[in-house]
Copies of this chain bind each other. A is one copy, B any other.
Amino acid sequence: MKEKTSQVITPDQLLEHWQGHRRLTRRVIETFPENEFFTYSIGGMRPFADMVLELLGIAEPGLREIVTGQTTQLNEYFDHGNSKAKLLEAWDSATEQLNMLWAQMEEMDFQKQIVSFGQFPGTVQSALFYFMDNEIHHRGQAYVYLRSLGIEPPMFYDRSYI
């Protein structure tokens, strides 16, 4: 297939796509009752808070690793004292950090071979799509948790600013 004149998706569009998904995930976190966020589970799966800790452990550290080239370890925990506000604070901090890190992506070759978190081989683009797809996957699970709690989740297609 010959080279296109226009990008399939530009770097700026990819960041906006990511942050749009992150805005929706933030809204899903907000929708959870405080207690159920940390405790509610179906079929032996993790509570959504634990999935969010995974997402926080991936997004900013993963992008920083891509930007700096410094291998980082996957860390899916920090001391949050079962406070949703603390996780939302971490979420918002990551949102800003992703924007700042992305500003350093001007010269990035998205096709470059990398090893994410020192263990997952791929390219810059495949890693970034994995980060996003993984978030969509777990957030979809949170929708089932919410529905089974009798709570209506945010609309999937609403990626607007809060």
Which residues of A come within 8 Å of B, CB atoms? Answer: 1-14, 17, 21, 42-45, 106, 108-111, 125, 129-130, 133-134, 136-141, 143-150, 156-157
Contacts and interface: CB of A to CB of B under 8 A. Distances in A.
A147 B43 contact: yes
A116 to B, nearest CB: 12
Contact of A6 (B106, B110, B134): B110
A9 B129 contact: yes
B147 A136 contact: no
7 contacts: A1-B11, A4-B7, A4-B10, A8-B11, A8-B110, A42-B147, A133-B136
Q: In the A-B complex, list the 3 residue pairs whose CB atoms are closest, starting with the nearest.
A: A140-B140, A43-B147, A43-B148
Given A4-B110, A8-B10, A42-B147, A137 B134 contact: no
B125 A8 contact: yes
Contact of A11 (B4, B13, B129, B130): B4
